[in-house]
Amino acid sequence: MAEGDNRSTNLLAAETANLEEQLQGWGEMMLMADKILRWERAWFPPAIMGVVSLVFLIIYYLDPSVLSGVSCFVMYLCLADYLVPILAPRIFGSNKWTTEQQQRFHEICSNLVKTRRRAVGWWKRLFTLKEEKPKMYFMTMIISLAAVAWIGQQVHNLFLTYLIVTFLLLLPGLNQHGIISKYIGMAKREINKLLKQKEKKNE
C-alpha cells in the first residue's frame, strides 16, 4: 500500500515538473490570472463579469458563424501561445521572480495535474460503469443528455455559454472565499431538518 502511494506521489511530482517546464513562459501570466480568479482584491469579481460580458456582447453584435468563431478563437490561442512567452518577461520582469512566486506556480501546476487526473478518473469510471452495468449506463446517459438537450432548447446558446463561462471563471474565487461550502452547508442543514420533520410525522 505504501509502495503504491509512493509511486503515485512520484508520478504526480514528475507530471507536475513536466507541466511546469511546458508552461514556464506563461508563469507570470498564470500568477496574475491566479490572483484575479482567487479575488485577491474586492473589485476582481465585477471586473471578471464585466470583461466576460463585453466579450459576449461583441460576439452577439458580430454574430459570427460557428466556423468563423472557432477559427478566430483558435487563432487568438495561437497568437497568445507565441506572444505571451516573449512579452511577459519584458512586461513583468523575469528578474523579479521570487521563491514565493515559484512556490505558487508549482502549486498551480500541481492543481492542474490533479484536475486532469480527476477528469481522466471520471472518464474511466464511466467506461467501467458501461462494462459492469450497461443498463444503468444507458439510462444515465440518455436521461442526462436529454436534460442537457432540453435546457439547450429552452435557453439561447450564447446566453447559456455566457452563464457557464462566467460561473467557471468565478468558481475559484467562490471556493477560495468559502461561499460554495457555506451554501452547501446551509442546504445540508435544511435537508436534514426536512428529513427529521418527516421522521417525526411518521412516528
* pLDDT score, position 129: 84
* pLDDT score, position 9: 77
Buried b (16+ CB within 10 A) or exposed e, 142-169: eeeeeeeeeeeeeeeeeeeebeeeeeeb
* pLDDT score, position 177: 83
* pLDDT score, position 75: 94
* pLDDT score, position 135: 87
- Tens of pLDDT, residue by residue over 112-144, are 898 888 898 888 888 888 888 888 888 988 999
Report whether 166 contacts 52 (CB < 8 A). yes
How many C-beta neighbours within 10 Å does residue 182 have? Answer: 11
Report whether 89 contacts 26 (CB < 8 A). no
* pLDDT score, position 94: 57
Distance in angstroms (rounded) separating the CA atoms of residues 196 and 182: 21
pTM over 0.85: no
* pLDDT score, position 184: 84
* pLDDT score, position 167: 93
Q: Which residues of the chain are under the pLDDT cut of 50?
A: 1
| CA-based nearest residue to 101, from 18, 40, 28, 15 | 28
